[in-house]
């Protein structure tokens, strides 16, 4: 009983909106202005076009991302945002890019192959022509039979990737039943535990792969071919050996083409390929950067408090990073444009951040929150003056609601605010956590950080980190609607009587005492 009493006392002392202390009244006059500007004068697709078709892929540290820094910061200044800057967050290391990519099978017949160099691997230093060897290893003892036989060869390893015909549509929207299930959830899914066996299998495969790559280096292999997942002409890229100065040239190719080579090799057909790839490493500037801009608060007492919104600007490189995450960056920029253009008074300062290094480990956002809101491992005054952070990084699909990130105290607030968008299909508020993107940086230091529930469309099946992540995959109506919804959430948060409620720290002591 004492634990329960402490819990409710803590909620009472924090002024949590569960008991109605927060003013959650909807400002419909402001929403009308936001909808008018966001739906009738939208620039979100033009912003997305600039980030994708015109600027291109934006791998962290690349020339493309630097062009994106320049353009987004210039655009924010043009809109009249304040304190616009491209701010270094720390050292990232060398950037990387592709200048040339050609791969084809020449025997037993000619066939161009769909693929691209793996990130942070070197090029071939001119055209190569070589025999393909399928290195069929199931354990480290199998490596011995290939010693002395791989010099000058192109090698392939076993894979479980397939490209079977599917009978379901790639793209989908969330059903009412799925949304109802999310809304009624009471247990967070953030701490799912992998079985000991699964962890052991993963480690064993990683060790085997590392041992095989060391053999390839020792033997003098010319190139490694790899595949991940995909199908129907789509292939998905992955992180290369970013910190390996002796990495081999490596290409990731579509599963259909990879598996054809494997089948030919298993049947004893001699295979040859030719390749010519050129990659570049950017070593002049090893720092990572974020792009920031603000609309200053208008209330003398609250203008020093901050509401933030953001998305990651970096992308992968086989496509143009449209759904991951030009979509989120374009929407968040559009939110700032809408708020500035509609001239709605904002009591608190609203700050947008376009992050880099998200794809390599949330580097931009995690370093930013440590540099801005922490000092010597403890919260500083800026931490105290922070209200909430909103993130968009689940593709191009329509916003259908929001994840509470286990912060039960904000449920009544969001439920009230989303009433304005029930006609847009956005009203789901779930206690569930979601991970894998920049709101976690804020949540990790005790600040309210939220990610929106979005329709998946074909994010997981076709576009996420793939060669098909291009402008055509963007849903214009969804992005316009998302900008309106998020602009409203940001406006409401900026004009609340109090800051957004935080997770009671008592939860930590309760968990430890069990």
For residue 116, the SS3 value is: strand
Element (H, E) at 308: strand 306-312
- Which of 237, 490, 178 lies closest to 360 in space, CA to CA? 237
CATH number for the domain running over 100-177+193-282? 3.50.30.30
- The domain ranges of the chain are 10-91+286-513, 100-177+193-282
**pLDDT computed for residue 3 by the predictor:** 38
For residue 429, the SS3 value is: strand
**pLDDT computed for residue 12 by the predictor:** 36
As a 3-state breakdown, the chain gives helix, strand, coil percent values, each rounded to 5, of 40, 20, 40
Which residues does 66 contact at the CB level (< 8 Å), separation at least 6?
none
Which residues does 164 contact at the CB level (< 8 Å), separation at least 6?
231
- The CA–CA distances, whole Å, from 193 to 16, 190, 198 equal 31, 9, 10
**pLDDT computed for residue 514 by the predictor:** 40
Determine the Cα–Cα distance for residues 119 and 383; give it in Å rounded to an integer.
Answer: 36
Alpha helices (H) in 285-325, listed in sequence order? none
Asked if 369 and 440 touch (Cβ cutoff 8 Å), the reply is: no
End-to-end, the C-alpha distance of the chain in Å comes to 13
- The CA–CA distances, whole Å, from 485 to 217, 310, 415, 492, 507 equal 52, 14, 13, 11, 31
**pLDDT computed for residue 192 by the predictor:** 54
**pLDDT computed for residue 66 by the predictor:** 98
Burial class (CB in 10 A: 0-12, 13-18, 19+), 181: middle
- Which of 369, 368, 353, 372 lies closest to 294 in space, CA to CA? 353
Q: pTM of the full predicted structure?
A: 0.92
Please report where in the chains the tokens 């491992």 appear, as a residue: 377
Cα angle: 354, vertex 286, 324; to 5 degrees: 35
For the chain, the farthest-separated pair of C-alpha atoms sits apart, in whole angstroms, at: 78
**pLDDT computed for residue 225 by the predictor:** 98
Q: Which CATH number fits the domain 10-91+286-513, given the four candidates 3.30.40.10, 3.30.565.60, 3.40.630.10, 3.50.40.10? A: 3.40.630.10
* Ranges under pLDDT 70 in the chain: 1-23, 187-194, 506-514
DSSP 8-state class, residue 459: I
């Amino acid at each position: 009983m004492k634990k329960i009493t402490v819990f409710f006392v803590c909620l009472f002392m924090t002024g949590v909106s569960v008991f109605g202390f927060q003013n959650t009244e909807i400002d419909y006059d402001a929403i009308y202005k936001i909808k008018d500007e966001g739906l009738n004068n939208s620039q979100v697709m033009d912003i997305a076009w600039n980030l994708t078709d015109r600027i291109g892929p934006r791998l962290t540290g690349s020339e493309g991302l630097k062009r994106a820094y320049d353009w987004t910061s210039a655009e924010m200044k043009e809109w009249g945002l304040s304190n616009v800057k491209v701010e270094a967050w720390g050292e990232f290391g060398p950037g990387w890019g592709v200048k040339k990519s050609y791969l084809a099978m020449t025997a037993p017949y000619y066939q161009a192959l769909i693929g691209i160099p793996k990130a942070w691997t070197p090029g071939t230093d001119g055209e190569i022509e070589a025999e393909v060897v399928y290195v069929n290893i199931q354990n480290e003892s199998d490596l011995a039979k290939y010693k002395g036989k791989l010099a000058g060869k192109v090698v392939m390893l076993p894979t479980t990737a397939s490209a079977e015909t599917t009978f379901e549509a790639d793209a989908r929207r969330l059903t009412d039943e799925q949304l109802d299930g999310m809304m009624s959830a009471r247990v967070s899914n953030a701490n799912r535990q992998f079985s000991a066996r699964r962890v052991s299998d993963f480690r064993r495969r990683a060790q085997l792969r590392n041992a095989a790559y060391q053999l390839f280096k020792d033997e003098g292999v010319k190139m490694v071919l790899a595949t991940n997942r995909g199908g129907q002409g789509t292939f998905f890229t992955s992180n290369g050996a970013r910190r390996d100065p002796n990495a081999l040239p490596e290409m990731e190719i579509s599963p259909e083409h990879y598996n054809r080579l494997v089948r030919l090799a298993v049947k004893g057909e001699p295979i040859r390929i030719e390749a010519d790839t050129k990659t570049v490493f950017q070593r002049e500037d090893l720092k990572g950067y974020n792009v920031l801009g603000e609309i200053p608060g208008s209330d003398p007492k609250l203008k020093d408090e901050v509401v933030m919104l953001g998305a990651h600007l970096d992308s992968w490189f086989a496509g143009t990073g449209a759904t991951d995450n030009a979509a989120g960056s374009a929407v968040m920029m559009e939110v700032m444009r809408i708020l500035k253009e509609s001239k709605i008074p904002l009591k608190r300062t609203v700050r947008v951040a376009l992050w880099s290094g998200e794809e390599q480990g949330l580097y931009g956002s995690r370093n930013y929150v440590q540099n801005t809101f922490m000092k010597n491992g403890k919260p500083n005054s800026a931490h105290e003056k922070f209200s909430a952070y909103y993130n968009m990084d689940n593709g191009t699909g329509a916003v259908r609601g929001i994840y509470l990130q286990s912060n039960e105290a904000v449920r009544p607030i969001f439920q009230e605010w989303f009433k304005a968008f029930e006609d847009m299909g956005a009203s789901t508020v779930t206690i569930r956590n979601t991970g894998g993107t920049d709101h976690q940086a804020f949540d990790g230091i005790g600040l309210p950080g939220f990610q929106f529930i979005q329709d998946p469309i074909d994010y997981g099946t076709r576009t996420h980190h793939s060669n098909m992540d291009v402008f055509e995959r963007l849903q214009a109506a969804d992005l316009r609607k998302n900008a309106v919804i998020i602009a409203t959430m940001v406006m409401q948060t900026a004009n609340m009587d109090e800051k957004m409620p935080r997770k009671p720290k008592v939860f930590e002591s309760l968990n430890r005492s069990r």
